[in-house]
A and B are shown apart, each in its own frame.
Chain A
Amino acid sequence: MVNEVNIDPKSRADMPTTSYSKPVIGATGKTGSWRTFTPKIDYDECSRCRTCWLHCPEAVITLDEDGTPHIDLDYCKGCGCCAEVCPKKCIAMIRVGFDEEESA
């Protein structure tokens, strides 16, 4: 009678009584596809200051215990805020398709 929310409803029978949603990563899909520029961290220069993590609007940067940042490119929308705020200026924004390593 009263259905639980089903993340992928096929018919009315799979739908809940009303439109409540469950939190999931990727609610709008793999938003990495929105990017026109891709951030690339120069880890040799990175001071592990966490500033990129602090300002990332997307929560796509995770940190190792020592503060080493990792950007989840499946979801990064490529806004470039991280590159702007980086005190070391060690995050490059590279136009999608122009990364030599990526294309290699």
Chain B
Amino acid sequence: MKTELMSANYAAARAVMSARVEVVPAYPITPATTIPEQIALLNETGQWPGQFIRVESEHSAMFACIGASSTGARTFTATSSNGLLLMDEGLHWATAARLPIVLANINRSISPSWNIHVTHDDSMSKATSGWIQFYVSSVDEFYHTIIQAFKLAEDERVLMPVMVNADGFVLSHTLSTYDYLEPEEVDKFLPPYKPPHWVMDPENPVSHGNIVFPEHYQEFRYAMHEGTHNAMKVYEEVEREYKKLFGKYFGGPIDCYKCDDAEVVFTSQGSVAAEAKDAIDELREEGYKVGNARMRMIRPFPVDRIRELGSRVKGFASLDRSVSYGYGGPVANDIRATMYNTKHRPIIKSYIGGLGGRDMTVPDIKEVILDTVKAVETGETGPEETWHDLR
């Protein structure tokens, strides 16, 4: 393992090299653009020997991924925002075809109006598609989670694609030191992809994706659901092995900080979750029993971990950098749904903020947490959701 100073996007390009990805179709979109740029350079200079396809749209990027993965190649792409939305048909195609494609999504606001900064609306809108979804908080975590994602996606109990999300600019364009692995080191963890069920091969002709009538369609959908569901357990094994081999561990589906004796925990996705550690430290110093639950994985949803946490705390302060328009914060909603079928009923407050790249600083996070602390003390649940810093 070596260390270098890079942005998350350059680290993602290195992950492609480290994981011996065979095919990358990609289309430029800010702020993901420097990923395909760097992959092109690695390819042209012979450092990455795979096939780079300079497609003419994101829709074509995802379908070129589908063509390549269907033919048995390890496949990766990267995009953002409107690009992810243009891929939509392909995103759903990839899950039903059970293709272990890994996609780095650099979270960016959806247009209009044009805004290239972070909002999680792009990836959150795909929460029902079957894609396994991670949110990361550092360059190091981004790099290693991409490598782990291939192992997870290609596991025959899973066989579902994985989206690794990183905040636009805050991570994509900000330099940070991170530890990387040579392909020879990763080989120990990630063997070459062997499609376990079907592949396009003239020696063994099969047809993929022709008509399925109602008699069987539902069963295939159940199998997809099972695949994504299994990812929770399989990821535990993946992380254990990764830690053993490389000493890297990012905290499972929910990375908890000072949650053991906490009365209120703050949940969030992406880079805010890293910032939140400082807020927790300051509040602890001020005497509040608070913790930080960084949501790394939102699909499959970590139901058991949330229920375990929910059985010990009095309140969740759940921040979404995204909106389910007309019904609050998407992850807050999931946490509420998860807790409903238990005997524990902590107060679960939904906060929406940091949209369009607006800063969520330590004082902002503290304000959110203290609002929930107050709700716990008074027993007043307050509004359905609270838009933080709404002018």
Let me know if chains A and B touch directly in the complex, using CB atoms closer than 8 Å.
Answer: yes
Residue A2 at the B interface, CB < 8 A?
A: yes
Q: Please determine whether B222 and A12 come into contact, CB atoms closer than 8 angstroms.
A: yes
Cα–Cα, bound, A74→B219 (Å): 32
Asked, given contacts A18-B98, A18-B198, whether A1 binds B207 with beta carbons under 8 Å apart, the answer is no
Q: Please determine whether B210 and A19 come into contact, CB atoms closer than 8 angstroms.
A: yes
A residues near B220, Cβ cutoff 8 Å: 15, 18-19
Instruction: Among B157, B212, B222, point to the contact of A19 (Cβ < 8 A).
Output: B212
> Which chain B residue shows the least CB distance to A19?
B212
Instruction: Among B156, B157, B206, B223, point to the contact of A15 (Cβ < 8 A).
Output: B223
CB contacts under 8 Å to A, within B292-339, are none
B residues near A17, Cβ cutoff 8 Å: 98, 156, 159, 196-197, 223, 227
Count, A-B residue pairs, CB within 8 A: 58
Residue A9 at the B interface, CB < 8 A?
A: yes
Residue A5 at the B interface, CB < 8 A?
A: yes
Whole-angstrom distance between the Cβ of A45 and the nearest chain B Cβ: 39
How many residues of A are in contact with the other chain, CB < 8 A?
16
Cα–Cα, bound, A21→B207 (Å): 5
A residues near B206, Cβ cutoff 8 Å: 5, 20-23
Q: Please determine whether B196 and A2 come into contact, CB atoms closer than 8 angstroms.
A: yes
CB contacts under 8 Å to A, within B125-146, are none
Whole-angstrom distance between the Cβ of A39 and the nearest chain B Cβ: 29
Whole-angstrom distance between the Cβ of B220 and the nearest chain A Cβ: 5
A residues near B188, Cβ cutoff 8 Å: none
Q: Please determine whether B210 and A2 come into contact, CB atoms closer than 8 angstroms.
A: no
Q: Please determine whether B210 and A21 come into contact, CB atoms closer than 8 angstroms.
A: yes
Q: Please determine whether B97 and A18 come into contact, CB atoms closer than 8 angstroms.
A: yes
Whole-angstrom distance between the Cβ of A9 and the nearest chain B Cβ: 7
A residues near B209, Cβ cutoff 8 Å: 19-20
B residues near A2, Cβ cutoff 8 Å: 156, 159, 196-197
Cα–Cα, bound, A18→B159 (Å): 10
Whole-angstrom distance between the Cβ of A101 and the nearest chain B Cβ: 38
Chain A 11-47 per-residue mask, 1 if CB under 8 angstroms from chain B, else 0 = 0100111111111000000000000000000000000
Cα–Cα, bound, A85→B348 (Å): 76
B residues near A20, Cβ cutoff 8 Å: 197-198, 206-209
Asked, given contacts A1-B156, A18-B197, A18-B220, whether A23 binds B97 with beta carbons under 8 Å apart, the answer is no
Cα–Cα, bound, A7→B10 (Å): 47
> Which chain A residue shows the least CB distance to B220?
A19
B residues near A9, Cβ cutoff 8 Å: 216
B residues near A22, Cβ cutoff 8 Å: 206-207
Cα–Cα, bound, A14→B72 (Å): 24
| Apart from A2-B196, A18-B98: 14 A-B pairs, beta carbons within 8 A | A3-B197, A4-B197, A12-B223, A15-B216, A15-B220, A16-B198, A18-B198, A18-B208, A19-B209, A19-B210, A19-B216, A19-B220, A21-B207, A23-B205
Provide a sorted-by-A list of 15 A–B residue pairs whose CB atoms are within 8 angstroms.
Answer: A1-B157, A2-B159, A3-B197, A9-B216, A17-B156, A17-B159, A17-B196, A17-B197, A18-B98, A19-B208, A19-B210, A19-B216, A20-B197, A21-B208, A23-B207
**Closest CB pairs A-B (n = 6):** A20-B198, A18-B98, A21-B207, A20-B208, A20-B206, A2-B196
